Structure 1
Amino acid sequence: MRSKSIYIIRHGETEYNRLGVVQGSGVDSELNDWGKAQAAAFFDAYEHVPFDRIYTSKLQRTKQTVQAFIDLGIPYESHAGLNEIGWGMREGRTPNNMDNAYYRDLVLAWRNGQVELAAEEGESPMQVRERQLPVIDLILSRPHEKCILIAMHGRAMRILLTTLFNQPLTEMDHYEHSNLCLYKLSYCYPDRQFTLEVSNDITHLLSLEIPHNS
């Protein structure tokens, strides 16, 4: 029976993450020192996994997260379809009460079924799902890749997981995440079904010493 193992991770921490600044797809930030340490810890834990290919978004923080695997010679591809949701005109701004209230209300609207509602000058969850679908189709069209690693973003990951498990987008907040967390799935080709094996796992980070500024 043909199957595929799929490891999906969120990128490591950026300085914007640390400061609580919304990045979305419009802010192409780098990993900070803690994010680089998270990436190194993940590599140490999963270096032995025989990944056939790595998929990242077009944003550099995802590629930086898996650079150590790429340096081993594992083929990789970057796809804009895996980019974070476009959070719109408020991306990159210092957090303030008005912006926080706007995003809180927006996410609540999504939970209540308004998944076609886009952030101002940004994207809706439905739009993100639509751009993810061709990437999903591409990945599943390659059964010879028996084990793959996908590096992406928090909200985009939530949207992807609901799509893979054929769930409505209103369920996406059930998939919790943190920087450099891991979701592991298996896909069985004959019945075209995904199975969730690991959810929001960060055990590979437990050996890290928490920085004083966190």
Structure 2
Amino acid sequence: MVKEIYIIRHGETELNRQGIVQGRGINSDLNDLGRAQAEAFYQTYKDIPFDKIYTSELKRTWQTVQKFIDAKLPWEKLSGLDELAWGIWEGQPNTELARDAFREMLQSWQDGDYTAHFEGGESVQDVYERLKQPMEVLMTRPEEKTVLLCMHGRAMRVFLCLLLGKPLSEMTEFPHQNTVLYKMGFEDGKFTVLEFNSAIHLDGLIIE
């Protein structure tokens, strides 16, 4: 393989635990479980010779890979990796009304209406377009042979569709629990999945 890319979702935040959508507009810290997940990922993958770390502009991503950053690995924030903006629903209580609204939106995307969005928010098509910039970065920096990239659940699903040439209606095929890993290969202009939805680092995780 010319390049290996380790794509992970950030660790848990308190709003994740409560089932409250954060999106692009809420910049939450990791909670105790999220920090433990981040530590578990570090202990499992600390010996991988990463050439570069990429995160979104939101601190829950860089807090997840902080120990790699502390090891003086090159790090760059890319706003294109930010989570989808959920508009008026960001930070709102996890009520039946909210759950119904999200179910309807997810069904719209499943049905192929990729421009559907909440007031003040983004569509998955918007996110797909801005993720082309991070994809270009991955494709055009051959000196970065092994890359660690930390991002967000919905954006990660969109990104995997983009990298693999899949329609956005298939993004539900990519599970995305906190700190789950998708290891990708890039060779001859093509991305492939080397590891799918790996959470081996979370086996036996104990919160002290």
Residue aligning to 2:53: 54
Following superposition of structure 1 onto structure 2, how do residues 78-97 of structure 1 map, counting pairs within 5 Å? 78-97=77-96
The reply on whether 1:198 has 2:203 as its aligned counterpart is no
- Counterpart in 2 of 1:178? 177
Query: Aligned pairs, how many?
Result: 208
Determine the structure 1 residue equivalent to 2:8.
Answer: 9
Instruction: Tell me by how many angstroms 1:145 deviates.
Output: 0.4
* Structure 2 counterparts to residues 104-183 of structure 1, below 5 A: 104-183=103-182
Q: CA deviation at 1:139?
A: 2.0
Q: Is 197-206 or 148-157 further displaced after alignment?
A: 197-206
CA distance in 1, matches of 2:155, 2:35: 21
For residues 13-68 of structure 1, give each alpha carbon's deviation from its aligned partner in whole angstroms, at most 9, with x where no partner exists. Answer: 00000011010011100000110000000000000000000000000000000000
In 2, Cα distance between equivalents of 1:79 and 1:6: 15
Moved over 6 A (4+): none
Corresponding residue of 2:206: 209
Aligned-partner Cα distance in 1 for 2:87–2:5:
30
Change (3 A) 1:71 1:210: closer
Structure 2 letter corresponding to 1:54: I
> C-alpha offsets along residues 89-137 of structure 1, whole Å, 9 cap, x if unaligned?
0110111111110000000110000011112210000000111101211
Q: Secondary structure at the match of 1:183?
A: strand
Identity among equivalent pairs (%): 46
Q: Structure 2 CA distance, aligned partners of 1:195 and 1:137?
A: 16
Structure 2: state its 5+ residue gaps.
Answer: none
TM-score, length basis structure 2: 0.98
Q: Which AA in structure 1 matches 2:158?
A: I
- The SS at the match of 2:186 is strand
5 Å-filtered alignment, 1:33-52, equals: 33-52=32-51
Deviation, 1:210, is: 5.8
TM-score computed with the length of structure 1 as normaliser: 0.95
In 2, Cα distance between equivalents of 1:44 and 1:124: 36
Deviations 1:183-203 (A, max 9, x none): 001000x3x111101111111
Residues 153-175 of structure 1 show CA distances to partners (whole Å, capped at 9, x for unaligned) of 00000000000001111111111
> Which residue identity does 1:166 align to in structure 2?
G
Q: Is the 8 A contact 2:36 2:207 kept in 1?
A: no
Instruction: Give the Å deviation of 1:207.
Output: 2.5
